[in-house]
Chains A and B, each alone.
Chain A
């Protein structure tokens, strides 16, 4: 078992003919994921490697079936790509693209919600269930199958931690990058719920960072969780954001700083580590 994606997941790649889309579509396929094809408007009928390219998500879904779409489409067209996938009721949309305007994301989140599908990202490395399916760009060599659920707001910092887990013989049930944007499709709390119910997951690693209140909201959930949660929160030395207006500070009500996050998480029973290489030991699974 695992969360969100597994061996049976059929993956579609939107923006498959671009530099990153083609590279990673072929990588996913090579690594054993059931990639069924891709979408690039105007390039239908062509191929990327052995993968068929379609003009629309609807056509791709009809011809090949798809349970998940990974979006590599550049930012100016990424929102349209997300909505197209949602209109075709692809149940899981994973958006890798960075740089989508935040107001578009507010509307995109509403849009996918209304159609009953899930969005992961944007500005994220996607997700993977080692040995079964990868929907995104997490480098395969860092992954291995095992009992640790990993969720993270950062891409490369995820690779750092997961590579260390793998090197120590601690495999992962699923690894999910939720993305670094302020407004995103899936938050830590929703993933904690999935990991909590997943039989293959024995413990969870949360990789957070300064800003926002994802970690604080996760803490409320973790309080009632029996599985062990280890957290690393980056940004202790990060320069303070240039403060302009007050509305953000009023809404966040004193949340968002690394120290505040760590205090709230510790209070909820989370084991905090201050170096990415200390996660392995803190899991207590060996």
Chain B
């Protein structure tokens, strides 16, 4: 299953005989780890580690560059180590210059100590860098990167994050998407091109823009309500997208009230209104609906909804207050 912290959650077991391995696998197949059901067990050779290293390539927002993070203190506690003993972490920018090493030999020597091991690590780092660029990854991480007793480096576990924005270039990778990693709602949202994360509250939110969506959720909480989700319908939203967004919210079993908060910029309020009318016709929308609609083509959008007897507001704070009130009064 695709989750970090597997080992700590009992997702890695050691066995000395095939029978022991069978028993351990049966036990694991009955488990849920970090919320995911275990469906497969990978059996691998147990490595006698002389040392556990960490190698990760990722994007550093501050320096706008790809950085290689390495440590001789790899393993499950690497994040704690980075806080308690930052001197054990070595970070170097990844070089793209042709024929130059991805990371300098001196840097590798500081982490891996011996020259022969540093040379092997250099090849691995070069391969990881190739993977990162060829497959548009935002993270490629090997942890632990094990040094065996016969002086070989072995990648014992790895994590890769593919940049969603680049998936259109890699249809083969898109096909690998694992539906279990996401909830049903999140998968449906992805298919519709929406950004959605389910929570456990009762006020369904539909907002344009991630910042305004988060501000809406924060305000709901501040007024004593509980948001049921994060849902960003994105920029130029066509009516079909709004319809899909309503389908998502109405599928949420805990949702009692739907709060739409749109401040049109590139999004045009008449598109949103058309989507709301479409949803009303096709889905019914049996829940109380609070609609805040303002910005680009706002008057037009509000007039369209007024014609269909859907009440709208122009103020976000008033709309959120109303939604919290309705959720409180709902059975």
| Residues in A lying within 8 Å of B, measured CB to CB | 19-20, 24, 75-76, 96, 98-106, 109-110, 125, 137-139, 142, 152-160, 163, 180, 182-184, 207, 209-210, 212-214, 217, 232, 234-239, 243-251, 253-254, 274-277
Contacts and interface: CB of A to CB of B under 8 A. Distances in A.
Contacts of A251: 58, 60, 67, 69, 91
Contacts of A157: 209, 211-212, 215
B295 A139 contact: yes
A217 B63 CA distance: 12
Interface stretch (B44-52, B103-111, B138-146, B251-259): B138-146
B218 A250 contact: no
A24 B56 contact: no
A184 to B, nearest CB: 8
Contacts of B267: 156
Contacts of A276: 215, 219, 316
Interface stretch (B119-127, B160-168, B280-288): B160-168
A180 B56 contact: no
Contacts of B147: none
B58 A275 contact: no
A139 to B, nearest CB: 5
Contacts of A156: 207-209, 211-212, 262-263, 265, 267, 295
Given A154-B209, A157-B212, A103 B58 contact: no
Interface string B2-39: 11110000000000000000000000000000000000
A127 B239 CA distance: 27
Contacts of B4: 243-246
Contacts of B262: 156
B212 A103 contact: no
Given A154-B209, A237-B220, 19 more contacts: A76-B168, A103-B163, A105-B64, A106-B64, A138-B265, A154-B210, A154-B212, A154-B215, A155-B209, A182-B59, A183-B64, A207-B211, A236-B218, A238-B230, A245-B139, A247-B69, A253-B83, A254-B83, A277-B317
Contacts of B5: 243
B136 interface: yes
B59 A106 contact: yes
B197 A239 contact: yes
Nearest to A182: B61
Contacts, number: 186
Given A106-B66, A182-B61, A245 B165 contact: no
A237 B217 contact: yes
B69 to A, nearest CB: 5
Contact of A109 (B57, B64, B210): B64
Interface of B: 2-5, 54, 56-62, 64-67, 69, 78-79, 82-83, 86, 89, 91, 132-133, 136, 138-139, 141, 143, 159, 161, 163, 165-166, 168-169, 197, 199, 207-212, 214-215, 217-222, 227, 230, 234-236, 262-267, 294-296, 316-317
Contacts of B219: 275-276
B96 to A, nearest CB: 8
A238 B212 CA distance: 12
B56 A250 contact: yes
A153 B295 contact: no
A152 B141 CA distance: 32
Given A139-B296, A246-B141, A152 B235 contact: no
Which secondary structure dominates chain B's binding surface?
mixed
A245 B227 CA distance: 28
Contacts of B2: 244
A166 B295 CA distance: 14
A179 to B, nearest CB: 11
B66 to A, nearest CB: 6
B99 to A, nearest CB: 19
A238 B217 contact: yes
A36 to B, nearest CB: 22
A210 B197 CA distance: 15
B236 A19 contact: yes
Contacts of A213: 61-62
Given A103-B59, A237-B218, A246-B143, A139 B64 contact: no
Contacts of B89: 250
B136 A101 contact: yes
17 contacts: A98-B234, A100-B165, A105-B64, A153-B211, A155-B265, A156-B207, A158-B211, A160-B215, A234-B212, A237-B214, A237-B218, A237-B227, A239-B197, A243-B4, A246-B143, A249-B82, A276-B215
Contacts of B207: 156
A34 to B, nearest CB: 21
Contact of A244 (B67, B69, B139): B139
B212 to A, nearest CB: 4
B199 A239 contact: yes
A238 B214 contact: yes
B214 A235 contact: yes
A28 B139 CA distance: 39
A110 B59 CA distance: 14
Nearest to A104: B166
Contact of A24 (B58, B82, B266): B266
Nearest to A19: B236
Contacts of A160: 212, 215, 263, 316
